[in-house]
Structure 1
Amino acid sequence: MQNDTGSNAVIVNYFSRTLNEKILLVQVLVGIFLYVNSLMIFTFLKKEAFRTDTRYVLFAQTLFMDSFLMILTDLALIGNYFQFPIPWIPCCVFCFLMSWLSLVTPLTLAAMCLERYVAICMPLRHADISSPRNRRRGLAIIWVISTLLPTFTVVSFISLVPPTLLLTYVVCSIEMMYVQAWLNHAHNAILLLYFSVMFIIIVFTYMSIFKAAQAASSDNKKSTHKGLRTIILHAFQLLLCLAQFVCPFVEMAILKIDFMLFINFRYSHFIVFLIAPRCLSPLIYGLRDEKFYVVLRHYAFFGLDTVVLSLLSSENIKFRGRAKTGPLQS
């Protein structure tokens, strides 16, 4: 009996140490993600040309929203790990914000695909359609649409539970707000509608740009093919975001089978389906975009890259001058 107790204690200690290491790894990944996003947000804000271009404005929105979402989800992860209870009302606000922010990015991805479609397939109308007024309207539409589902969830929860429950404390989790089965089914149906529309938008824009790429001249093929690759990456992002909303239901089924497997799956879900899609946005519009990358590199190296390049170019000019005059004449 004592041996069994000692073995269980060893397993618990090993499991806690492993989970602590995983939590620390998440903090490192979130810190790197927030640093890269902060650098890109700073780059966006420093250049007026980026602030007046629709695709960069949409890109900046994903940076802001994803950074805020990453902070909230990391706090929720730490709170669940340490079993830290909070009142139900702040938990409802917390869950509302996380649900809202998790929908803003997929909707913005669909808007980015539409912007690339207009730029490539309707270049003459691009300036009128992407005007500042239409840009503000588009952002407002994205924010309003993304608030419909979390508002429905929170209002339904508050109306279904007794008022005294809102004064109690709970370890906050959005799954706890689905107090009845129909609320869970309605949530899934609305999510399916959201992502079906966004998937149709991405397929439509991809097919339209693909046709434009086939009919484009040799000068325009490079930009159209780049637009195709961008939309493919957006589709992959959307697929990962969609999997993020399916995973909680898989987690509940795994929890009934094995608790250890449930913990490992939830950790993998957080890394693959929450952090990874948010890391693709800086890759797609931050590092692949030549104009943005040049400015980003300048601020990332505190302007030293310009000094180094100027020194290299001056040394290259001197070397060429010596090559022309000959080593004996120099």
Structure 2
Amino acid sequence: MNSSTGANATSLSALSLIEHGTIQLQLTLILGLSSFFLYINMVMILIFFKEPVYRDSSRYVLFIHMLFNDTLQSLISVFLYFLVVFRIQFNITLCTFFVHLGGNAAMNTPFNLAVMSLDRYIAICFPLRYTEISSVSRAYLAIGVTWLIGSVPSGSDIFIVLTKLPLSYFNQKALCSRAVLIQNSDQQLKQAVFNGLYFTVVWITIFYTYVQIMLQARKVRVPGSQASKAQKTVLLHSVQLLLSMAFFLNPLTEYIFQYTAPMVFAHVRYVNFFLTIILPKFLSPLIYGLRDDNLKKHLRLYLKCNFNKVNPTAVHC
């Protein structure tokens, strides 16, 4: 009897060590990849601020905003993920701030892609009026509107909590996630309505711009023309949008696996986080930045730390 108990204890101990090692490997992978891609993003943002040629183009303003937005969301997501993994309770007031900011950044992504698609549409279909219609000031205005619209879903959750619970609620501590702002099932329905409405508008915008640019490219019929490049760029926006939409499937996946073994649920949450947060957000510099000859050349020089050897180059819209 004692030997059987000892064997069970040994097997449980070995299983615990394996699970502990798996978690360490997962966290190391997340931290390593996040640090690498964040470094690339920060270098590109530095290039934007150091090279005036990029600040004078609405195209690059929108691209850098996307990098900034993705970087912000990724930092917040990784931070909150580590808090949940290590079961660290957090002040609800600070948690509300991070959840709201992260949720706002998540909603900004599809709208930023839509605005970038419109920018390419104007550049190809209205080239003579491009600088007038798609000016830098209007790009910043579009970014401001994007942040305002993106703040509505999580902002409404905060309003609901403030009307239903006393202010003392925000002085408590809890595991930090969107759950601290959910008080009834209607909020889940509200979030689904917002997601459906937002993504429908974005899909219609991207589809319309893609068709219009495709028709323009057929008129030109020159391989490698600006219209052909813009068509590929908008198509990549669609891919990026699909990846962004995967983020909103996380709650459904976790709901399906919530009654499985704790370790299985933890693995599901990790796979969700890795595939819908880590990879999509750090594909932006690869999809867009490395396809641009100007950014590619500057990025190569900056990564070599040749800051004094970088010369501005002409921007071709």
Q: 2:256 aligns with which of 235, 248, 253?
A: 253
Contact 1:37 1:282 in 2 (8 A): yes
Q: Which runs of 4+ in 1 moved over 6 A?
A: 304-307
Q: Match of 2:190, as an amino acid?
A: A
- Deviation track 1:223-267 (CA, whole Å, cap 9, x = no partner) reads 212111111111111111111011122112112234333222211
How far the C-alpha of 1:67 sits from its partner, in A, is: 1.4
Higher RCO, 1 or 2 (CA under 8 Å, sep at least 6)?
2
Instruction: Point out where structure 2 has 5 or more consecutive residues left out of the alignment.
Output: 311-317
Contact 2:96 2:180 in 1 (8 A): no
Q: Structure 1 length normalisation: TM-score?
A: 0.88
Instruction: Point out where structure 1 has 5 or more consecutive residues left out of the alignment.
Output: 308-330
Q: Does 1:54 align with 2:58?
A: yes
Q: Match of 2:32, as an amino acid?
A: V
Contact 2:73 2:105 in 1 (8 A): yes
Q: In 1, distance between residues paired with 2:82 and 2:185?
A: 28
Aligned residues with identical type, % of pairs: 29
How far the C-alpha of 1:137 sits from its partner, in A, is: 1.8
SS of alignment partner, residue 179 of structure 1: coil
Contact 1:118 1:126 in 2 (8 A): yes
CA RMSD of aligned residues (A): 1.9
Contact 2:55 2:61 in 1 (8 A): yes
Deviates more, 1:1-10 or 1:53-62: 1-10
Q: Does 1:11 align with 2:12?
A: no
Q: In 1, distance between residues paired with 2:80 and 2:302?
A: 32
Q: 2:299 aligns with which of 296, 313, 321?
A: 296
2:209 maps to: 205
Q: Does 1:267 align with 2:253?
A: no
Provide closer, same or farther for how the CA distance between residues 304 and 50 of structure 1 changes in structure 2, counting only shifts above 3 A. Answer: closer
How far the C-alpha of 1:291 sits from its partner, in A, is: 1.6
2:128 maps to: 124
SS of alignment partner, residue 291 of structure 1: helix
SS of alignment partner, residue 195 of structure 1: helix
Q: Structure 2 length normalisation: TM-score?
A: 0.91
Q: In 2, distance between residues paired with 1:4 and 1:208?
A: 67
Q: Match of 1:121, as an amino acid?
A: C
Q: Match of 1:205, as an amino acid?
A: T
Provide closer, same or farther for how the CA distance between residues 14 and 299 of structure 1 changes in structure 2, counting only shifts above 3 A. Answer: same
Aligned length: 306
Q: In 2, distance between residues paired with 1:279 and 1:90?
A: 26
- Deviation track 1:269-322 (CA, whole Å, cap 9, x = no partner) reads 111111211122112321001122112222222339979xxxxxxxxxxxxxxx
1:313 maps to: none
